[in-house]
Structure 1
Amino acid sequence: MAYFYEKQVVRENEDRGVHIYQSERGAAAAIAINRRQSTNGACSYLRACRILLEDTPDLFDCFAHGHLTERQIKAITEPLEEVDANVRREFDAIFADHTDMFENLGVRAISDLVRKFTERFQSSEKAVKIEDEAAKRYVRFRKSKDCVMLSAKLPLAEGIALAKSIKKRAKAIFRMGNDPRTKQQLQADMLICSQLEGFPPKVPLFLDVKLIMTDKTLFASSHEPANLPGYGIIPAQYARELVAGAKVDLEDPFHLTLKDDELNRRIFTFPEIQRIYTAPGNQDLIAMDSKAREFPESLKEFIRIRDSICMTPYCDGVPEEIDHVVQRHLNGPTSVHNSSYRCRFCNLAKELPGWYEKVDYSIPHSIVINTGDGRTYRSLAPPATGIVREADPQANEQPRK
């Protein structure tokens, strides 16, 4: 395996005084040639091998038996590179007890799940990094063939809010059906039309951000990371400061220090907090129902937050459409249980002859999919908090006589 070849290269170069990183690059280049691949990413591949062999033996065993693909392993090890060996071993122990935790997940969903775990150990450091990156924000215009290319680096919360606002407004115009422009053209025009005349001293920015975090993370300095729909997992410390609009002291979470940086002097922000509850002792969001034929907007927002990824197993497509699991014309109810958030491709695929889906009400938002070839798959919404579903000890208690 690549790891053992790398060790051999390191030993051969130790006596010659070659730096460890130089030998790593040499081993990576040799392995890339043997694999008939570009050297781009070869060092990262070797680090993934080292993590598997040294720190995550249960993951390696699962990979060796063909239960995880190389792309899935890469998605797992990349976030684990950011933490130390003890944390990686702790994650491997969790995986040993929940070997099905990556079942039916695409590589992006797998990476988010592992990052949800690693963020617990990097909350304060990651919050500082996010603020540092915000200070490096920029907009660049580049002349291209017959057009101008625009690229930008924006602060996390403001960037998500801007993207959501433009997409929402463009989608509303597109649905009216009387505008010949595509969604992409509408979004580009929205960005251009959003420019204000002159150069005001402050830019008003209204945030519509759905931030999912536990009460312990918000009030009790827990390291359980939060989820920012449209972006993904963010550290607990940054989530607390995003809600408070100020620096939060970990030892005294109710002591706030107002931020006095250039970004806050330039932008007005108006955050709105929306609370969504889980059932006691549960990691899944509480259900809502509707008797309407179409999903009302409030229920749609709930479904978007609950599912967060395309509900078709292994799909990494961007979810865009909310629809019934059991179709409406087959008497499927308009309810949170009989709903799924999917990319357009998958939502159309489920209408093919022979494709059948049903809801398993015994498990929180579980969908059983029969693709028409005799095979069945199970789709499960990710837990709102944590990385695996833990059994509720209170639910297993016997009533007192």
Structure 2
Amino acid sequence: MYEDGCDDRDNFENEAPKWPPDNGLHEGCEALVGKVNDNLGQLIAHGGRSAYSAALNELERTKASFCAAQIKMAYLFEKEVVRDHEERGVFIDESERGAASAVAMSRRQPPTGARSYMKSCRILVEDMPNLLLALDLGDLSERQIFAATSPLQEVNAEHRREFDQLFRTHPEMFEGLGVKAIGDTVRKFTERFESTTKAFQAEDEASKRYSRFRKSGNCVMLSAKLPLAEGTALCKSIKQRVNELRRSGDPRTKDQLMADMLICSQIEGFPPKLPLFVDIKLIMTDKSLLMGDREPANLPGYGIIPSQYARELVAGAQIRVNDYFHEYPEHDDLALRIFTFPEIQRLYTAPGNQDLIAMDSKAREFPDAMKEFIKIRDVHCRTPYCDGIIENVDHVMQHYLGGPTNVKNADGRCQWCNLAKEQPGWFEIVVHEQPHSMRINPGDGAIYQSLAPPATGVVRDVIPPILPYGYRWQRE
């Protein structure tokens, strides 16, 4: 007998397996697939850079359409499984049991993450038709779609439908974004509904802080969980010192320096003791800070944080005069942990705008303050679809071609992309200053748009321009 009470084992064993299945989808499309392969063969044999680039893009869009079809069929497959279990009266508390594993095998994927895949399929089909349509049309890839649905699993169907309508109004919101940037964008939206809950969760996680050492071969492995603000400050302090030593010609690798900064308290020029006197850049709207608005804040070096936690972070950054501890509640033992004295630097936007204001310099090299500004503004590497960490701040239009040293003509790039953009034929130009937008031609004829993410909000709202003083409305 099977686990569900059905004795179909004999029928299963007696039936000769047929593989590949008769009249399969791929075989039914054999003529079409053959024609496509013939065209691709001709393209591969006689094409050029521009043709290859266009074909790669078109194939990616086609893959996305097939992924959308897989999502719809996986959703219907699960529905069939649920219906079958209900008719048999089995697995009442877990009616979708087995569907995720079966779908994973059909897609030749490991079962790990199959449940999350099926949950995303349900979300897309039931609550987010516009996002699913973008995948069906090839405007977004499967990885981009699932980067968006992952944070949306934490909110209810009503809020998911609200985001889907927002995407319908602003279909360009994910254009050129990598999966990390898309996840950050969606989290800006979801954090609005769970600001207080997320703040409690952050405080609860801080109470579970730890550091653990274990032997591993000929070394000792260290793992730790630190509170959000203190962990971010420690990371930034160490990285700052590592960059200083590398610029001074230190022969150690970056990883070696990171380890040495963590364990050594007497390195020349490095603060021998904690606390860490570092600054923390906190980006939040005035309404979130002063009026209890739920618009999330951004903690550069960490990411999106709930507005409630950001308010508590600002309020908690007080230093007593007599001793050097934070003002934490007496019942909390946080004063005994590694602590920081962060200088909270608030970065504001221009009135009626969602983008950071500018800085300028006449030097060829970008000053440190301006580099920090660019890293905060751009968040990730500005190459479209790249989620790399910004390691270089460079001129969009090269300095030797007359490009000025200011935030309008600057962008943040990871090390890999910073080298790639120097190849012959690669051209970039600033299109708009506010919001900062640039156009990229990698030399193959394709044109890509790179837009800095809004400092606040999920998408840029259309706001009427500020009218000059004395202007009078004219009624028709």
Provide the C-alpha distance between the structure 2 equivalents of 1:396 and 1:24, rounded to a whole number of angstroms: 58
Provide the C-alpha distance between the structure 2 equivalents of 1:19 and 1:181, rounded to a whole number of angstroms: 59
Which amino acid counterpart does residue 49 of structure 1 have in structure 2? C
Deviation at 1:270, TM superposition (A): 1.5
Work out the percentage of aligned pairs sharing the same amino acid.
Answer: 65
Identify the range of structure 1 (384-393 vs 362-371) with the bigger mean alpha-carbon deviation: 362-371
Q: 1:140 aligns with which of 212, 226, 229?
A: 212
Gaps of 5+ in 1: 197-201, 248-255
Provide the C-alpha distance between the structure 2 equivalents of 1:286 and 1:33, rounded to a whole number of angstroms: 51
The question of 1:239 aligning with 2:302 is answered no
Deviation at 1:21, TM superposition (A): 6.3
Map of 1:253 onto structure 2: none
Which is greater in Rg? 2
Tell me, what secondary structure is at the counterpart of 2:251?
A: coil
Map of 2:171 onto structure 1: 99
Map of 1:74 onto structure 2: 146
Deviations 1:198-245 (A, max 9, x none): xxxx95243421111011101100000000111110000000001101
The answer as to whether partners of 1:245 and 1:259 remain within 8 angstroms in 2 is: no
Map of 1:299 onto structure 2: 370
The answer as to whether partners of 2:91 and 2:97 remain within 8 angstroms in 1 is: no
Provide the C-alpha distance between the structure 2 equivalents of 1:314 and 1:395, rounded to a whole number of angstroms: 34
Which amino acid counterpart does residue 270 of structure 1 have in structure 2? F
Map of 1:87 onto structure 2: 159
Deviation at 1:135, TM superposition (A): 1.2
Cα RMSD after superposing both structures: 2.2
Map of 2:410 onto structure 1: 339
C-alpha distance 290-92 of structure 1, shift in aligned 2 (>3 A): same
Provide the C-alpha distance between the structure 2 equivalents of 1:292 and 1:86, rounded to a whole number of angstroms: 52
Tell me, what secondary structure is at the counterpart of 1:269?
A: coil
Provide the C-alpha distance between the structure 1 equivalents of 2:348 and 2:204, rounded to a whole number of angstroms: 32
The question of 1:121 aligning with 2:204 is answered no
C-alpha distance 4-293 of structure 1, shift in aligned 2 (>3 A): same
Map of 2:84 onto structure 1: 12
Q: 1:32 aligns with which of 76, 100, 104?
A: 104
Provide the C-alpha distance between the structure 2 equivalents of 1:63 and 1:74, rounded to a whole number of angstroms: 10
Map of 2:236 onto structure 1: 164
Provide the C-alpha distance between the structure 1 equivalents of 2:286 and 2:447, rounded to a whole number of angstroms: 37
Deviations 1:70-123 (A, max 9, x none): 111110100000000110011011000000100000000000000010000000
Q: 2:123 aligns with which of 48, 51, 74?
A: 51
The answer as to whether partners of 2:375 and 2:412 remain within 8 angstroms in 1 is: yes
Tell me, what secondary structure is at the counterpart of 1:180?
A: coil
Provide the C-alpha distance between the structure 1 equivalents of 2:467 and 2:447, rounded to a whole number of angstroms: 30
Tell me, what secondary structure is at the counterpart of 2:98?
A: helix
Matched ranges for 1:255-334 at <5 A: 258=329, 260-334=331-405
TM-score (normalizing by structure 2): 0.78
Map of 2:283 onto structure 1: 212
The question of 1:152 aligning with 2:227 is answered no
Provide the C-alpha distance between the structure 1 equivalents of 2:138 and 2:378, rounded to a whole number of angstroms: 28
Deviation at 1:306, TM superposition (A): 0.8
Number of residue-to-residue matches in the alignment: 387
Deviation at 1:143, TM superposition (A): 1.6
Map of 1:227 onto structure 2: 298
Which amino acid counterpart does residue 232 of structure 1 have in structure 2? G
Tell me, what secondary structure is at the counterpart of 1:378?
A: strand
Deviations 1:102-160 (A, max 9, x none): 00000000000000100000000000111111111111222222222111111111111
Tell me, what secondary structure is at the counterpart of 2:224?
A: strand
The answer as to whether partners of 1:243 and 1:271 remain within 8 angstroms in 2 is: no
Deviation at 1:390, TM superposition (A): 0.9
Tell me, what secondary structure is at the counterpart of 1:140?
A: strand
Tell me, what secondary structure is at the counterpart of 2:282?
A: coil
TM-score (normalizing by structure 1): 0.92
Which amino acid counterpart does residue 353 of structure 2 have in structure 1? N
The answer as to whether partners of 2:209 and 2:227 remain within 8 angstroms in 1 is: yes
Deviation at 1:25, TM superposition (A): 4.0
Deviation at 1:60, TM superposition (A): 1.1
Which amino acid counterpart does residue 165 of structure 1 have in structure 2? S
C-alpha distance 99-246 of structure 1, shift in aligned 2 (>3 A): same
Tell me, what secondary structure is at the counterpart of 1:379?
A: strand
The answer as to whether partners of 1:216 and 1:222 remain within 8 angstroms in 2 is: yes
Tell me, what secondary structure is at the counterpart of 2:211?
A: strand
C-alpha distance 147-20 of structure 1, shift in aligned 2 (>3 A): farther
Identify the range of structure 1 (298-307 vs 347-356) with the bigger mean alpha-carbon deviation: 298-307
C-alpha distance 357-246 of structure 1, shift in aligned 2 (>3 A): closer
Deviations 1:281-326 (A, max 9, x none): 0101111111111111111111111111110000011111111111
C-alpha distance 77-180 of structure 1, shift in aligned 2 (>3 A): same
Which amino acid counterpart does residue 226 of structure 2 have in structure 1? L
C-alpha distance 287-63 of structure 1, shift in aligned 2 (>3 A): same
Deviations 1:31-83 (A, max 9, x none): 01111110000000000000001111111111112211111111010000000
Map of 2:426 onto structure 1: 355
Which amino acid counterpart does residue 158 of structure 2 have in structure 1? N
Identify the range of structure 1 (137-146 vs 309-318) with the bigger mean alpha-carbon deviation: 137-146
C-alpha distance 25-259 of structure 1, shift in aligned 2 (>3 A): farther
Provide the C-alpha distance between the structure 1 equivalents of 2:266 and 2:118, rounded to a whole number of angstroms: 47
